[in-house]
Structures are given as C-alpha cells and as structure tokens.
Amino acid sequence: MTTIADLPEIDFGAADYLAAPLPTLAGFAERFKLGRSSRGIEIFDYDLCRDTILNRAFGTGHPRLMNVLGLPEGPALNYKRRSISFHNRGETRRRLRVPLTTLMGPEGSERFRTDIRGVVRKTFAEIATDRPVDLIHDLCDRIPSRVYCYWINAPMEDADFVSRTSHIVQQVHTRNPETTAEVTQGFENLLEYVDERIVLARQNPGDDLLSDLIRATDAGHLSPDELRNWVVKLAEANTDNSSHQIAIAVIELASRPEIWAALGADPSLVPQALREVMRYHPRSLSTSRETLEDVVMDGVPIPKGEAIFPNIGAAHWNPNYFPDPAKFDIHRPDKPAHLNFGGGIFSCIGRFAVTIEIEEVIAHMVVHFPNLKITRSAFSHSPMFTSVTELKAVLNG
C-alpha cells in the first residue's frame, strides 16, 4: 500500500518552480496525482482538486494557518475565530453565507455593474495617458478598494487605506511568522475602521451593500458580530486578490496584440478571454484544506487532521483536462471550469462582483487604449499565489 511517505516530495523553493511555476506544476500533474511538501499533502489532478474543494470530508485549513502564523490572542485572532473562515461545513457556515449569497449572487452583483463602470471610468480619468504610469498603484489597487468604499458608502479617499490594509492582512497566507506583528496590527486597524463605518451607516442608511447587510442583521439573519465580520472579510479578501487578478489580466491580454485588438473590435469576447486568463495564469495557485476524517485519496490513506493543498495551477495546466495547456486560447471551451474561485460552500462569495470589476476594466481598456504598451512587468509566485510585483505601461503607447 502506498503511504504518505512514499509520495513524491515537492520543493516550492526549487529553482525550476521559481523560474516557471506553471509549467513545473504541469509536469507534476502529468507524472503523479499526489505529492507531499513541508506544508502537507499536495494534489495535482483536476478531479481530485475539485473533489477536495467540494467534498464534505475536507474542511477549511484556516485554524491551522493561524497556528502556523502564531497570531496572538486579541482582537485580530478573535475576529478570525468568529469569521466564516473558521467554520467548516455545516449549518453555521451555510447560515452565514445565505445573506451574502443573496446580495452578491449573479443577479445581485449585476446591480453593481453600472456603478462599478463609473468607478472604472473615474479612475482612468485620473491616469496620465502619454507617459509610463504605475498601473498597480494607479489602477489595479484603486479599482477594488474604491468599489469596496462604494459598497460601504465610504469616501473614496479611504480607498488607499483599504488597499494598503488588505495587502497587509493577506500576508496571513505566506505562512511566515515574521509578518505576524504587521498582520495583527492591520486587522486591528481594519476592525476599528469597519466599526466606525457601521455606526455611520446606521445613522444614515442608504442603497448600498452595507445598509443591505444592516437590514439583514435587523431582520435576524446575522448577529451584529457576524455583520461586522462580513464587512471586514469583504475588505480582507476582495482588494488584495482582485488587484493582482486585474494586473494579471492586463499583462496576459495586452502582451498579445492580436488578442487585444480582437477584444477592442468585439468587447463581448472579454468574459471568455478572462476565463482563459484565470485558467492560464490563476491568482490562486493553491488553496488549503484539512481532513475532517480519515480518507483515502488515489489509494493513499490520509489521516484526520492532515493539511491538504489542491494545486489549482497544476489542475489548470493538466493536459488530460486542458489540451495544450501552455497555449493561451480565448476560444477554449468553458468546460471544465477554472477553480480560481473554489466551489460549493467554499466558493468565493464575491466571485461575481470581482469578475464584473475585471470585465469592466478590460472592456474599458481595449476600447479606449488600443495601443497600450506595457513597458515593465514582473510576477512572483509562492505556493499559494501569483502576485504582480511590477506593472508599468503607457496607455496611449
């Protein structure tokens, strides 16, 4: 019988992974379905990744992550313990999701599209078009943080704080205790900010997402603590991840002039082009789970309490599911679906709104800046994420 100790050992610090992570993951996926690393069990097969995300035998790996990080007792850890991230499958997680999935499902998110488009246009109006600009600072960070401010009826001037703080607290996923003090302070700052916004929204309710959540709370669907945690969670998860996904999309599409031109001639192609971006170069390279019971995966017994990591990048580059995976093809069939947003009760609550944000950015750019020229760009890749570390461009290149 194959045991965990028999699985191939993966080193995410190896030169081949750091130089070309996605082809390296594809090579793993072609040779084996499971591996092991210093962080736990690694999954490289698409079906096993998807099953692990959906299967009730697997729960969130967030409590273990907080232990690895060593988050101290206090407001930040208390927030984490009470937020949806700490709740495994079951009635509590389902109940917590219901108000948000109602407000931010496909139809609920579409009601934001016009206003998101307005945020996009306003943001581009502030960007110089005739010289190199830092698109991470001027565009990618500002769009999701400004959309968040719109959701909670906050001044747009708060967007820089929201963006900066989201980047800080998302460092929890680095699993690096050296970030603990900064992450803890970031969460405390965000909690204080959200408490202030909730007080103001109660004094002056409107037609925004925060007011809707307050009304859901008053109707008994959320407790005041759960309301607060969701408003913090939206800032924590949305801004950092969305910023990098926007940047990835700009780089992957604008670096292919024929595709950029095709999208400009027919912006209706933008949604399918973005599906391929998220397949070809996902923001989330893996996600974390923990076994809630003893399981057997691909013939390997895995005990309860084991850390499991579905490698989304490997699944997306597995030629058994995506033929010629290294080819960037915006006309690729939409099945199987990309796994960027998880699935089932662990699916990203804001996935529809985030997709709208990216669609509106790209649709605006391909029409108004057909000659956009990227002058400098760079990625970094951890086992968990793709990050864009540099993106400079001339909009009217």
Domains of the chain: 4-394 (1.10.630.10)
* Residue where the block lists tokens 């950029």: 260
* Residue where the block lists tokens 């996600």: 287
Q: What is the pLDDT of residue 370?
A: 97
- DSSP annotation string for 149-186: HHHTT--GGGHHHHHHHHHHHGGGGGT-GGGHHHHHHH
Provide the pLDDT confidence category of residue 346 given band limits of 50, 70 and 90.
confident
pTM of the model: 0.93
Instruction: Encode pLDDT of 234-264 as tens digits.
Output: 998 778 889 999 999 999 999 999 999 999 9
Number of CB atoms found within 10 A of residue 268's CB: 8
Number of CB atoms found within 10 A of residue 193's CB: 19
Which H helix or E strand runs over 393?
A: strand 386-394
Is the distance from CB of 295 to CB of 69 less than 8 angstroms? Answer: no
Instruction: Encode pLDDT of 287-340 as tens digits.
Output: 999 999 999 999 999 999 999 999 999 999 999 899 999 999 999 998 899 999
Q: What is the pLDDT of residue 184?
A: 94
Q: What is the pLDDT of residue 219?
A: 96
| Neighbouring residues of 50: CB distance < 8 A, sequence distance ≥ 6 | 310, 315, 336, 339, 343
| Neighbouring residues of 195: CB distance < 8 A, sequence distance ≥ 6 | 228
Please say if the pLDDT value at position 192 is more than 90. Answer: yes
**R_g of the chain computed on alpha carbons:** 21
